[in-house]
Amino acid sequence: MSKLAATMTSILCCAILMLAPLGHGQSPPTPALPEKVILDTDIGDDIDDAFALALALRSPELQILGITATFGDTETRAKLLDRFLAEAGRPEIPVAAGASSPAKTTLTQRRYAEGGHFAKPSHLDAVAFLLEQTHRYPGQITLIAIGPLMNVGAAIDKDSSTFRKLKRVILMGGSIKRGYGDLGFGPPQGPQPEWNIMNDIPSAQKLFAAEVPLFVMPLDATQLKLDEVKRAFLFGQGTPLTDALTLLYHQWGQKTPTLFDPMTIAFLVNPSLCPVQPMHIRVDDKGFTRPEPGPPNAQVCLDSNPDAFFRFYLNRVAAP
């Protein structure tokens, strides 16, 4: 057989194989289904919760089953979520409110929450919603906790067996080696009680003992500064989502946001942005998250690459 004939025969065989039906028991590859998530947030005080929600809304890998408001004036937080979701074109996402608690902070974005005509007349109960969804989708839901853990602790108290049917919890919380203001250069400042842990220590202790896969994004890896250049780029996009972020940023009234909370979403979509390691963490009575010997109860990210994070974040949220 000549070289030309052999070549033509090889091409023909490959074409026949490509066109042949799949054999018995074979099936074509299927795209991964979106990850079912519930976001638990204290949106309305600091601004980073809104930036986290924006990233979640721009991540097609996620199916947002609902958003629950926690800590302080939860009804106003829920109203803020109503408006944000409506302006971002996602009004169908359910919003639930946890039990209110005495206010320890000023809702800097209250005017946004109370403006417009988007607020629903009532909201679902956050704890009931979380447990009902977990019961409906056992082993499928990732809970993303980016506020004080009132709703989480209440859910564990109400039905710990259902809570344990969560696929995992991704938490922005804790401080392992670095506290506030320690960006990894300069003299180390040591760990501190972190806000989300400190404001409900008993609930944090329950979560770390809940035997649910737990991924922790502490201060060590989440002090990500959205500087003036990045803000100008993002706020100049003129989309409904970036316009809402711009307005909330100005109501927040400070200069440079630290995007603690968005790392939880970024990690879920692209785990390489915050590599984790197994650790045994004990939450002490002062709110410190202390690494100790023992079987791991959490996967913890101690370092991240801010440049890689912001390339990922800005490309996602600024997209039309």
Per-residue pLDDT of the chain (320 residues; tens, 9 = 90+): 444 344 444 444 444 333 344 444 455 555 678 999 999 999 999 999 999 999 999 999 999 999 999 999 999 999 999 999 999 999 999 999 999 998 888 899 999 999 978 888 899 999 999 999 999 999 999 999 999 999 999 999 999 999 999 999 999 999 999 999 988 777 778 999 999 999 999 999 999 999 999 999 999 999 999 999 999 999 999 999 999 999 999 999 999 999 999 999 999 999 999 999 999 999 999 999 999 999 999 999 999 999 999 999 999 999 98
Q: What is the DSSP letter of 278?
A: E
Q: Does the domain at residues 35-317 carry the CATH identifier 3.90.245.10?
A: yes
Distance CA 38, CA 65 (A): 6
What pLDDT sits at residue 27?
Answer: 52
What pLDDT sits at residue 30?
Answer: 54
Distance CA 288, CA 285 (A): 8
pTM of the model: 0.90
Which residue reads 């990690």 in tokens? Answer: 267
Q: What is the DSSP letter of 303?
A: -
What pLDDT sits at residue 81?
Answer: 98
Enclosing H/E stretch for 203: helix 201-208
Q: Name all contacts of 99-102 with Cβ < 8 Å and 24+ positions apart.
A: 99/74, 99/126, 99/127, 99/150, 99/154, 100/72, 100/73, 100/74, 100/75, 101/71, 101/72, 101/150, 102/72
DSSP-assigned beta bridge partners for residue 258: 225
Question: If DSSP codes are grouped into helix, strand and coil, which group holds residue 32?
Answer: coil
Distance CA 44, CA 106 (A): 9
Q: Are the CB atoms for 41 and 53 separated by under 8 Å?
A: yes
Distance of alpha carbon 126 from the chain centroid:
17
What pLDDT sits at residue 23?
Answer: 45
